[in-house]
Amino acid sequence: MRVLVLNPGSSSLKSSVVEAAPAETVARAAPTPSLAAAAPGLASSRLAALAPAPLAKVDVDWGVDATAESDPADDIRGLLRRYSEAGVPAASLGAVGYRVVHGGEQFREPVLVTPAVIAEVEALRSLAPLHNGIAVATMKAGLSAIPQLPHVAVFDTAFHATLPEDAYRYPVPERWYREWGVRRYGFHGMSVEWSAERAAQLLARPADGLRLVVAHLGSGCSVTAVDGGCSVATSMGLTPLEGLMMGTRSGSIDPGILFYLQRTGRLTDDELADQLDHESGLVGVSGRTSDVRELLRLEAAGDGPATLALQIFVRRAAECIAAAATSLPALDAIVFTGGIGENAAGLRARIVARLASIGVAAIETAPVSRDAVISASGNSPAILRVEAREDLVVARAAAALVETARPGTQGL
């Protein structure tokens, strides 16, 4: 089934058309590490077949204020025209799938998009203000622009439904959890799900026997411990603000800082939220940019703030990886994914170097352009580089749900 995948973000609408195949088909016939080592070209071609590229990709730039300057329904109709020009007509599509960041405790599986679902996602907006409101607008627009197709919402938090209670509960008064839903949800679930599946292929081992730490490092960053395909610990929490230092987000800081700034009248609640989400992290420390490529260039030129920003980033990433490993009975591999995890080879090597005290061997700083085991043969834990494929996870989930759903249950 061809699925149009829509991934709305704070500044753009990313989209792709993916030919979805059942997960069990992808899981078969993994290449062996020896093949990858002996014949990189052959291994690469076989891996490409296991992770099919999108048939086409089209993005819409929304600028700094998401949908303020455009109608998302018009944008989606424009996407369809561009896909048709690329040889992927709307008539060939079987479903539309959406990446939705926060599903709360209500959504632990993909669901057909209905008015009730949209209302519940909207109600969760306070937990992911940067993401869920835009997802709601995009789902409404998608239903308006493509009413003839089934639409499926897939949730980033769903993969973390397996977190044990001692991992998702915070040490706060019980009523905070029981009455107000204050708990850890975790995010980047689709990225972690694919990374775990891909790691099993690359290591030629069954997924249900692997103990992994997945580091998704991009504009948003998180670390997840995966035991036998299940999330058992993750760094993001009630919201996507907790955990690692990120591009513009602070990650975890002393909550007393917030009280101090409020009590002394230095910042209002709204100013605090805005600065922690948009003006902190790499851009906050560097004072210039959150673009790691630019920060590396500035670091090489001797820029102090850029150097400090990258040093803090590396320290915080290594700390979170090491902490996640304590939730596993053993550590078979560390997987780097996301834009920084995949492409910033030097930073990746610096993070790994800080893990020497827990038995992780150093890796090369050479760039790697494809999914691969990048640690030396025989090293344990292994270090892997995996391309994030949230689009493929959304497409497969949407296709599977549509194929099993009864006719007549879709639409507004």
Give me the pLDDT at residue 12, please: 79
pLDDT interval class at 69 (50, 70, 90): low
Could you tell me what percent of the chain has a pLDDT over 70? 89
State the CB neighbour count (10 A cutoff) for residue 221: 28
From 223, 249, 208, 189, select the one nearest 321 (Cα to Cα). 223
- Checking if the pLDDT of 8 tops 70, the result is yes
Q: Where are the beta strands (DSSP E) in 319-365?
A: 333-337
Region 117-131: mean pLDDT is 87
pLDDT interval class at 62 (50, 70, 90): confident
Token digits of residue 203: 């290591």
Q: 257-265 long-range contacts, Cβ below 8 Å, gap at least 24?
A: none
* CB distance 184 to 237 below 8 Å: yes
Region 174-203: mean pLDDT is 96
What is the C-alpha to C-alpha distance for residues 42 and 308, in angstroms, rounded to an integer? Answer: 41
Give me the pLDDT at residue 63, please: 61
Torsion of CA 88, 197, 398, 135, to 10 degrees: -90
Give me the pLDDT at residue 53, please: 87
Decide which of 128 and 298 is more confident: 298
What phi, psi does 113 have (nearest 5°)? -75, 125
Decide which of 35 and 271 is more confident: 271
Instruction: Render pLDDT for 223-248 as a digit per residue (tens, 0 to 9).
Output: 999 999 999 999 999 999 999 999 99
Region 36-57: mean pLDDT is 54
DSSP state letter for 160: G
- Checking if the pLDDT of 145 tops 50, the result is yes
- Checking if the pLDDT of 401 tops 70, the result is yes
Local structure of 96: helix, strand or coil: strand
From 93, 81, 109, select the one nearest 147 (Cα to Cα). 93
Instruction: Render pLDDT for 151-173 as a digit per residue (tens, 0 to 9).
Output: 999 999 999 999 999 999 999 99
Residue ranges of domains in the chain: 2-185+391-404, 204-389
For the domain bounded by 204-389, which CATH number is listed?
A: 3.30.420.40
Same-fold call for 2-185+391-404 versus 204-389? yes
Range name among 54-68, 157-171, 273-287 with the lowest pLDDT average = 54-68
Question: Looking up tokens 């975890």, which residue turns up?
Answer: 252
Query: Judging by DSSP bridges, how do beta strands 211-217 and 230-234 pair with one another?
Result: unpaired
Q: What rounded mean pLDDT belongs to the chain?
A: 89
- Checking if the pLDDT of 38 tops 50, the result is no
What is the C-alpha to C-alpha distance for residues 254 and 270, in angstroms, rounded to an integer? Answer: 18
**Residues present in the chain in total:** 412
CATH 3.30.420.40 fits 2-185+391-404, yes or no: yes
Give me the pLDDT at residue 29, please: 38
What is the C-alpha to C-alpha distance for residues 340 and 347, in angstroms, rounded to an integer? Answer: 8
pLDDT interval class at 90 (50, 70, 90): very high
Residue 172, exposed/middle/buried by CB under 10 A (0-12, 13-18, 19+)? Answer: exposed
- Checking if the pLDDT of 25 tops 50, the result is no
Q: Which pTM value belongs to this model?
A: 0.89
Residue 213: strand pairing partners? 225, 334
Catalytic residues: 156
